[in-house]
Every structure is written in structure tokens, then in C-alpha cells.
Chains A and B, each alone.
Chain A
Amino acid sequence: MDLGFSAAQEEFRQRARTWLAAHVPSRPLPSLETEEGFAAHRAWEGELAADRWSVVSWPEEYGGRGVGIVEWLVFEEEYYAAGAPGRVSQNGISLLAPTLFDFGTPEQRARVLPPMARGEVIWAQAWSEPEAGSDLASLRSTARRVSGGWVLNGQKTWSSRAAFADRAFGMFRSDADADRPHRGLTYLMFPLDAPGVTVRPIGRVDGKPAFAELFLDDVFVPDEDVIGEPGQGWRIAMATTGEERGLTLRSPGRFLATADRLLREWRAHGDPADTALRDRVADAVVGARAYQLFTWANASRFRAGEQIGAGSSLNKVFWSEYDIRVHEAALDLLGAEGELRPSAPGPSTPAPGSPAPASPPPASSAPAPPTSSTSPTDWAEGYVFALAGPIYAGTNEIQRDIIAERLLGLPKGRR
């Protein structure tokens, strides 16, 4: 049992801290679920990448630093403690990239990963369909074999980031006659501005176009954009969704920083007589520490060569519910201020398929005090973001089934 870090790891932490102190924007960027905010976040990805901080765990040839999972977790702690912006490239970095590292060709890695690391190409996931949410085996959109590639038809929905993103990845039914529904699926990548693609942004509950519907009408995809073997999409995707729920989708650093902000709000403005709210603030601190230590234990297992497997479902249930609770506590603490919204709502819908415009880097690169990004409206924005957690990446109902059946050994039953 050891929670200490090596001298090299401490030095890495210090370097990250120093760089972030000098570069994190002193004012929060606009919400990344707006056109303006998306562009600002894209520029921030470029700034991170210029000094190799956007994908620290990737090999150097793709723009990373080739560091291990411990350093990645350390970087994430420093990143969020510094009040740095949310990551607009997250879908690509945490979902597609691991898939390409495991299943992609060298050519695909060389072509796709560096622009992803620089924020030049932002990826949207295209998993869900109108009739297929958590039950991905029921996907209906098709991929038809043609000379030199595949032709896509159908409809995807709830595609996160797709309102402003450049490209998407997802699964398509390539063999309608496969003996089982989850066989005969092919995993591939496609541009959102390709002929035949229509992007219709969908406003999430606060009106911001955080996701979109994609209509695919005879969209051609060349063979080089198929990931892994055709027909093996399910197996490949399961590896990816494991990543999504497991170690990499939500790093503890994010929640440690959030709990710390909440604790500071409590100490500054809390009513000591309100022990019910005090208890919720305490639970936010306890939960963030629990998640941090749980993740260190998982990282230790991972480094010892163990698979996390169904254990990633524990992770997903915990963080998604934690994220809501911590924001609820903050909104209650803020009282009337907590209701204020960050900006005027309403999707600013781009023309279908149009790429997000380039944007200048954030105006200021002065060091940011840790409190700079805290305002009541940040909590409101965070709350709305958190509300989706138990729904996406496999609903928490599905996760609890997995926990019960695979970790507790309870019998399968009707859903």
C-alpha cells in the first residue's frame, strides 16, 4: 500500500502545474455547447497540444508524452485544480483513440490521432439510434459493401458534440443475415460534412445544442475508415465502451476540484446551523476522495496486469450520481443565485455539416487564481451537464444489471 509518487512523477506534476499556471485562461471560456464556446475550446486544445499537454499518455509520435496512467491521473488532478476548461476533444481522446490504439492500422493512427491531439479534428460519437440506446445490438443503420468502401444509410441520434464537430465514429449493420443481432456490425469513421450527411442539432434541456441527430443518405466511406474487421464492430465497441465507463471518461481530478470549490463556497457562505446542507458538502468531499482512491486502486490493478472488466460499471454508477449530488448541493448553497443561467439560451444552429469556424486563442494567458472559474452560473452549467451522466455511456440501469450479474453473480432475468 503506497500512495506516494516517485521523484520523476513529482517532477512531472510540477511541470504540469507550472505550465497550467501560465496558460489556463483567466476567465472561463464560454460553454462548449455553443458555437462560440466550441471554437474557443478548440483553440484551447491547440494551445495544450502545442506544448504536448493535450494527450499526455499517448506515444510521442502522435503528440503525447508517452507517460503512464499514474502520470495521466496526476496531470488530470493538476488540470482541474488549475481551473482549466472542459475538454471538447474528449469523445475522440477517450473513446476513439483507445479503439485505434487497440484495433486501428498504423496508417489510421498516423492519419487520425495527431489532428485529434491538436484539436483540428473534433470527433463526435454516433452510437445511439432512435430505436437503439443502451441496447446497441438493435442498431438498424446500414453499411452496404461497394467497390472501395461502404455506403451508409440510416439515422443516428443523441450524438454528443455533433452539432459542431468535424467527424464521427459509430457502428453500422453490415450483415442483416447474421445469426445474432450483435454480429454483423461494422465500426467505421465518417466526416460530418460528407455528401449525404445531414446534421440536425438537438437542444438539450437548457436549449444548448450539446448533441445532434445525424441523417445518412448514401454516404460513401472508403475502406481505410473501417476500424478492425468488418462484422466485428460489436466486439471492438465493447472494448471502447469499457474504456468510456472505466478509468478514462471521468478522472478523479475533475471531482476533487469540484468538491474543493464546493467546500470553499461552504466555508465562505454556508450557514453553520444548516447541518443538513453541511452533511451534503461533507459527502461531496468524502465522495471525491473515495473516487480518487478507488481510481488509484484500479490504476494499481491495471499496472499489475489485471483487467478492470465489469468493475468499470461500479465506476460509472458512482461518478454519474456523485456529479449530480455535488452540483445539487452547490445550487442549494447558492440559493437564489443558483438559479441564474450562464447566458441566453437557445441553439445557434450552424448550417448542416459545416465545420466550426477557426477562432483566435483565448485572449489572456495570465496565471489564473484557482477561484477564477467559480461563479454561480458555472454551477448551473455543471448541473445541467451532470444531469445526463446516469443516462449516457450505458444507462445506470444497465450498469446495475452488469454489477449484479457479473460482480455479484445474480441470475439473469427479464429486464
Chain B
Amino acid sequence: MRFLLDDEQRDFARSLDGMLTAADTPAAARAWAAGEHAPGLALRQRLGAAGVFALAAPEAYEGVGPLPVETAVAFVELGRHAVPGPLVETVATVALLSRLAELGTAEPAKRSLPALVGGGASASLTLPGTGPYALDADASAVLLAAGDGEIRLAPGHAEPRVSLDPARRLARLLPGGEVLAAGEAAADAAGRALDWAALATAAQCLGVGYALLDRTVAYVRGRTQFGVPVGSFQAVKHRLADVLVGLEFARPLVFGAAVSLRDGDRAAARVDLAAAKVATGEAAYGAARAALQLHGALGYTAEYDLSLWLLKARALRGAWGGVGWWRERVVTGG
């Protein structure tokens, strides 16, 4: 029993943090929202080189995984820096195709995983029960639709629509296309994809929440009213203390879920993943509400970077199944 990140995992987080801090991710997010994918794709390439997508893939497909704990570490940093793009979706697709290969259908993995793992291409997908839209389908080389007892390679997508978070673009996948799996194998692989999507989204939420908190703490320390920093007011302090409580108790759920997933305890992992998805969604959203309130009107402007995280917190809360859907899984045992 040692429920702490080890030095290597902490170094991994630090190196991603350093790289993303230097990369001006807010500018990439704004460009992505405007439909200019180049800076975001360049970031994806660097994340691929750093091994982020290899964490979900087995060695047979140029991966180093599956390593859910390290994946969670990475996605906390991706959330912290508001990195745009179908990152969760790519990881979920990697997990899905890897699982299909384990179950005997290796060809799709052989075909797609090298590019996805290396960061040269992205994937997006839809899974049963979690909503009809694929994220950033227009920037994805691989489009998977799971549902109706099968997993198919979608031939394309409808016109993307803009999300509440301008950096997220949502599209329905077109019907038809090559069927990769059906029946039990399809359900199993889609379930695996959902596990990884939930894990990565929960970790990303956590990072978004911490970014909102950190920025707000910095702001209220500097902003003065009535001759003192607003951060010295008890009403402000208590609101931020509650944000920290929410995030600090959501964090172990994310890593607990990752450990359960790593150790192959799927029953435990499914309840833990549901718990992590609920708790991080609520905590990040609470952080967003507090951040906006304590920044005042400044926080309500598009030009101030806070909006990148504010709206992402709301969008991620409902992505891959809303909090009610996941709470149902908690009470039914996953």
C-alpha cells in the first residue's frame, strides 16, 4: 500500500507541464476554436512524442501500456493547460482497438494504432449511452461509431457544430462503413473505450479545476478593493477553500480508478471510474463558478484566458455521460 505517485510519474507530470507552459496552449485553443488546427496538431505531435498516446497501447502496437495511472497524470496536465483537440477520444480509440486486437481482431489495430500512438493522427468516436456527437471529427483520421451491437468505421461526419466550449467542435458520424466487430466483442471493446474515456476525462476535469483555482487565487491576491486584497475577505477565502476541498477529494478517486483499471479489477474500476467522473465533474464546475464570481466581470470576457477553462469545465461535466448517468452507475454498482 503506497497510494502516492512515484518520482518517475511526478517527473512525467513536470516535464509535460514545462512543455505545455512553453507552448502557449491558450493561443492554440483559440486558434482551434477558430478552425485553425495547425497549432493544435503540432501540440498533438509533441504529446505523441512525449508518449502520451502510447500509454493506452500495448507494446505490440508501439505502445508502452496499458498504463492508466500515467495516463491520468498526463491528462491532468492537458486539462491544466486547456490543450484542444480529440485527446481523450484518441486515447479511448487506442484502448478500443487494442482490446479488439486482444479479442482476435487485430487488423484495425495494425492499420491505425501506429499513427495514433505516435501523435501523427487523431481519432474520435461515439459510444452507446454517452451522446450522439463525436468531438473534433473534422480533425480526426479515424472515426469509430459503437452502438447497435457493433463497432464500425464511420465513413465521415456531418457538419461540425460549435460546443458551449468554443474549442470543442461536435459532429454526428455518418451511417454505414466497415464493421470492425459485433456482438460480445463489440460490447467488450466499447466498454473498454468508455473506461479510458472516463478516466482521461476525469483527469482532464481535475486539471481544468486546478487551473481555475490557481488563476483565481493569483487574481484575488493581487486585486484590491476597499484598500485590501480581495483575497483577504473571508467570503472569498471560504469559497476558494471549498473549491480546494472539492478538488483534493476528487483527485484520489481519479488515481484510485486508474489503479483499479491497471490491476485488472474491472468491477472495482467501473464504480471507481463512475465516482471519479462524478466528483471531478462537480469539483471542476464548482471551481469554474467560483472563478467567474471572484474574477468579476473581467472573467466574463472572451478576451481573458479564464474563459478557456470556464466553459471547458461545463462541457466536460456532461461529456461521456452526464453526472446523473454516472451516478446511476454508482448506485447500481457500475
- State the A residues within 8 Å of B (CB): 1-6, 9, 70, 263, 266-267, 275, 278-279, 281-283, 285-287, 289-291, 293-294, 296-297, 299-301, 303-304, 314, 317-318, 397, 399-401, 403-405, 407-415
Contact = CB atoms under 8 A, between A and B. Distances in A.
7 contacts: A293-B3, A293-B256, A317-B242, A401-B237, A409-B217, A410-B232, A414-B234
Contact of B220 (A266, A304, A410, A414): A410
A399 B236 CA distance: 14
Interface string B260-294: 10110000000110110011000000000000000
A314 B221 contact: no
A1 B231 contact: no
Q: Looking at chain B's contact residues, is the secondary structure mostly helix, strand, loop, or mixed?
A: helix
Residue among B5, B248, B259 with the highest chain A CB neighbour number at 10 A: B248
- Nearest first, the 3 closest Cβ-Cβ pairs linking A and B are A413-B232, A404-B237, A293-B252
Nearest to B272: A289
A400 B242 contact: yes
Contacts of B242: 317, 400
B258 A403 contact: no
Given A289-B272, A408-B240, A410-B237, A317 B3 contact: no
Contact of A411 (B232, B248, B255, B260): B232
Contacts of A303: 2
Contacts of B69: 1
Interface centre among A9, A286, A300, A412 (most CB of B within 10 A): A286
A103 to B, nearest CB: 29
Contacts of A294: 248-249, 252
A411 B240 CA distance: 13
The residue in B231, B245, B250 that gathers the most chain A C-beta atoms within 10 A of its C-beta is B245
Contacts of B1: 2-6, 9, 70, 296, 299-300
B253 interface: yes
Given A404-B238, A407-B244, A285 B4 contact: no
Given A1-B255, A409-B217, A314 B244 contact: yes
A302 to B, nearest CB: 11
B155 interface: no
A300 B4 CA distance: 7
A2 B221 contact: no
A277 to B, nearest CB: 10
Given A279-B327, A410-B221, 11 more contacts: A3-B3, A275-B324, A283-B327, A285-B330, A287-B249, A290-B252, A300-B4, A301-B4, A397-B234, A401-B237, A410-B231
Interface of B: 1-6, 9, 69, 213, 217, 220-221, 228-229, 231-234, 236-238, 240-242, 244-245, 248-250, 252-253, 255-256, 258-260, 262-263, 271-272, 274-275, 278-279, 323-324, 327-328, 330-331
B27 to A, nearest CB: 28
Given A263-B331, A285-B330, A403 B2 contact: no
Nearest to A319: B249
B59 to A, nearest CB: 20
B4 A410 contact: no
A116 to B, nearest CB: 28
Contacts of B213: 408
A317 B278 CA distance: 20
A1 B68 CA distance: 11
Given A293-B252, A294-B249, A401 B232 contact: no
A107 B164 CA distance: 68
A314 B238 CA distance: 12
B195 to A, nearest CB: 17
Given A400-B241, A409-B221, A281 B331 contact: yes
Contacts of A414: 232, 234
B245 A317 contact: yes
Contacts of A283: 278, 327
